């Protein structure tokens, strides 16, 4: 099943339609390759705005119970 989600990384926000059986980081890879996300951006975790839980970028949207319309915000560390 395809879902529409929003990925937020740093100051960039992009909408994407993706198969819920894909890993979350695959959505970010697609956006990076199209120039819509920073080249080095590959956070390991996101926060779901719908469930307010921390989700792994290495699991599928389905595994992490990410549904249509959710917004995932990258958890990044600043040095």
Which structure tokens are listed for 30?
């697609």
What lies within 8 Å, CB to CB, of 71 at 6+ separation is 5, 6, 8, 48, 49, 50
Percentage of the chain beyond pLDDT 90 is 67
Q: What is the pTM of this model?
A: 0.88
In the chain, where are the structural domains located?
A: 2-74
CA 58/CA 34 separation, integer angstroms: 20
For residue 32, is pLDDT > 60? Answer: yes
The answer to whether residues 9 and 42 touch, using CB atoms and an 8 Å cutoff, is no
pLDDT digits (tens, 9 = 90+) for 49-66: 999 999 999 999 999 999
pLDDT digits (tens, 9 = 90+) for 33-43: 888 887 777 89
CATH of domain 2-74: 3.10.20.90
């Amino acid at each position: 099943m395809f879902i529409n989600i929003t990925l937020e990384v740093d100051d960039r926000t992009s909408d994407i339609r993706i198969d819920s059986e894909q890993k979350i980081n695959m959505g970010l890879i697609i956006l990076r390759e199209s120039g819509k996300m920073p080249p080095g951006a590959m956070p390991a975790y996101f926060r779901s705005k719908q469930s307010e839980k921390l989700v792994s970028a290495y699991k599928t949207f389905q595994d992490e119970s990410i549904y249509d319309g959710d917004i995932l915000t990258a958890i990044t560390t600043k040095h």
